[in-house]
Each structure stands twice: as structure tokens, then as C-alpha cells.
């Protein structure tokens, strides 16, 4: 498992009310202006959604992934109590919203139209729709253009599947050449490599079931191959380091720093650039 290479979408943009936010002692007004579940209201000048939970005893705040503020209340909470609670936690909310703004994913949603930009290994390529090629290959990278079969482009589900597959195959081919030198440099056995959708992470490493048995498996996210090679190398080295050390303690970073002295700045760059990677959403 690999949190350090996790995409920023993996970070807790959802901020459950912490002690400071949740710890509002004065429980709740039982007033006629009781709030109802799902209600939207303005508290302390901020729009928020109310979420009422019968079992809850205290008020709480959450910043959802889309930046919405949610006020969590017990049954029977009144407007004034919540308004006061939001005001008292103004700084907490502002800090969390600022974090959210800085780390929210900005993943692109290109359209399947002539001229749209797709990236591979850090370079930009314009999409061109073509007539079927022989032999048929729905997606090709030729002479600086990303070629997509025009008939395939008419079916977004099919087109997305072909595009993803292209990234998977191109990414696997590219990485195979990198794995051996990195494994040699880091003095670890070369794992088996797969490129696929790794959920919210850029890569994972799974050790062999028994020591000395078959090699472990490294999985890299297909979306990663839109990024510049130095960032893909970083993820490969990051995962290889997990062969020796699991988790991300001081030992782990010491090991990785020996292989890539600039690993911290690469990680920061990956976090930032990774927010813009295309992950399969298509625009209209
Ligand atoms: Zn990791």
C-alpha cells in the first residue's frame, strides 16, 4: 500500500469535524426553528447543508470533496445554535477550505473532438479523428498526433476504453525499459509489472506470497503515463523501495533518498501535476 504516491484526490479533502469543531459543548437549542435533514441554509454568512443524525449528540462540520460545507447536527438542533457554532469555528472552516482549494483535483475532461489535447510522457498531442486504419488500431500516436478512429469516437464508452487501453499498453512498454535499471540501482529483484487502474493511487507494490518465491507485483496507474518521465521514474522507485521497507517511516525515505536525492521535490511535483491528469472523464 502506498500513501506517499497517492493522488491528491486521496487526501482527506473531507474534513470531519475535529475536536475543535466537534467539541462545542453547549449542546443544542430545542427551538421552533428546528433544522431538517438536507436543508440548505446560511450560517454566519456561509451556505451550508444540514445533515441531521438521530444518534448524534454534538454539532460537527465537514468540508465535502466538492468543497461544500456540511453541518452535522443531532435531532432537534436550532438555527441559532448552529449559526453560533459555525461562527465559532470560522477559522477552522477557512483553513480547511484553503486546503481544499489547494489540493482539489482539477482533472481534465477532454472532448473527443479534433484538436483536443492529450498528454503522453509529459508531452501534449492534439487529437485527430481518422478513417479506419489498416490494420485496425483505434488509437495511435503518429507524427505528433493522437489519432482516434472517427467511428470509435462516436461512442464515448468505447472510445474511452480504447484510449485507456492505449495508455495501459504504451505505459507498460515504456516502464519495462525502466524497471530493470531502477531495480539494479536499488538492489532489489525486479517485480512483475502491470499497468491498470489503481484507484486513487499512482502505484502499488504487492510482495510475493512467500519469501524467495515468485517476484512481487508492481501496479502503475494508466493515467500516470501522461506525466513527464521523471515523475513516472519517481513512482517506480517509490514502489521498488517498498520491496525493502513497507510503510513510509524514516527508514523508507532514507532508502528512497539514496536512490533519488530529489524525491521530496518530485513528490510535490507529482501531487501538483497529478491533479490535472486525465482519468477517463470525457467532456461534451
Ligand atoms: Zn508508498
List the chain pLDDT tens, one digit each, 284 residues.
343 333 433 333 333 444 333 333 334 445 557 899 999 999 999 999 999 998 888 999 998 877 889 999 999 889 999 999 999 999 999 999 988 888 777 777 888 989 999 999 999 999 999 887 666 788 999 888 999 999 999 999 999 999 999 999 999 999 999 999 999 999 999 999 999 999 889 999 998 877 666 789 999 999 999 999 999 999 999 999 999 999 999 999 999 999 999 999 999 999 999 988 999 888 87
- CA 86–ligand 1 middle distance (angstroms): 37
Report every protein residue that has its C-beta within 5 angstroms of ion ligand 1. 2, 4
Ligand 1 center to 52 CA (angstroms)? 37
CATH number for the domain that contains residue 249: 3.30.2010.10
Give residue for cell 482516434.
148
Q: Rounded to the nearest whole angstrom, what is the distance from the C-alpha of residue 36 to the centroid of ligand 1?
A: 43
Q: Is residue 62 part of a domain?
A: yes
In a domain, 4, yes or no: no
- Cα 12 to ligand 1 centroid, rounded to whole Å: 17
Query: Which of 48, 79, 103 corresponds to the end of one domain?
Result: 103
CA 5/CA 234 separation, integer angstroms: 9
pTM of the model: 0.70
Domain range for 70 is: 13-103
19 CA distance to ligand 1 centroid (A)?
Answer: 29
For residue 105, how far is its CA from the centre of ligand 1 (angstroms)? Answer: 20
Give the C-alpha separation, 263 to 155, whole Å: 41
Cell (9 digits) for 70? 456540511
Among 58, 78, 103, give the residue marking a domain's end: 103
Distance from C-alpha of 283 to C-alpha of 25, rounded to nearest angstrom? 47
User: How many A from CA of 94 to the centre of ligand 1?
Assistant: 30
Q: Which domain-ending residue is among 103, 127, 162?
A: 103
146 occurs within a structural domain: yes
Amino acid at each position: 500500500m502506498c500513501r506517499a504516491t497517492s493522488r491528491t484526490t486521496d487526501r482527506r479533502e473531507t474534513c470531519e469535524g475535529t475536536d475543535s469543531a466537534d467539541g462545542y459543548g453547549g449542546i443544542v437549542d430545542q427551538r421552533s426553528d428546528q433544522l431538517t435533514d438536507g436543508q440548505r441554509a446560511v450560517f454566519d454568512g456561509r451556505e451550508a447543508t444540514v445533515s441531521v443524525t438521530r444518534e448524534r449528540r454534538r454539532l460537527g462540520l465537514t468540508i465535502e470533496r466538492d468543497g461544500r460545507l456540511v453541518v452535522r447536527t443531532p435531532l432537534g438542533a436550532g438555527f441559532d445554535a448552529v449559526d453560533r457554532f459555525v461562527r465559532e469555528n470560522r477559522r477552522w472552516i477557512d483553513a480547511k477550505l484553503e486546503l481544499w482549494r489547494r489540493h482539489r483535483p482539477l482533472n481534465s475532461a477532454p472532448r473527443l473532438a479534433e484538436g483536443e489535447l492529450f498528454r503522453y510522457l509529459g508531452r501534449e498531442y492534439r487529437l485527430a479523428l481518422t478513417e479506419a486504419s489498416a490494420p485496425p488500431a483505434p488509437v495511435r500516436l503518429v507524427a505528433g498526433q493522437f489519432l482516434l478512429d472517427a467511428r470509435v469516437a462516436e461512442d464515448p464508452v468505447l472510445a474511452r476504453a480504447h484510449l485507456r487501453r492505449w495508455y495501459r499498453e504504451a505505459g507498460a512498454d515504456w516502464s519495462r525499459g525502466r524497471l530493470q535499471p531502477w531495480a539494479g540501482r536499488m538492489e532489489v529483484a525486479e517485480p512483475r509489472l502491470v499497468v491498470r487502474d489503481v484507484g486513487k493511487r499512482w502505484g502499488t507494490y504487492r510482495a510475493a506470497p512467500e519469501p524467495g518465491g515468485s517476484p512481487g507485483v508492481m501496479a502503475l496507474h494508466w493515467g500516470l503515463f501522461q506525466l513527464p518521465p521523471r515523475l513516472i521514474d519517481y513512482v517506480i522507485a517509490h514502489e521498488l523501495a517498498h520491496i525493502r521497507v513497507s510503510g513510509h517511516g524514516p527508514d523508507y525515505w532514507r532508502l528512497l533518498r539514496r536512490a533519488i536525492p530529489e524525491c521530496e521535490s518530485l513528490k510535490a511535483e507529482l501531487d501538483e501535476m497529478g491533479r490535472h491528469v486525465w482519468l477517463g472523464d470525457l467532456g461534451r
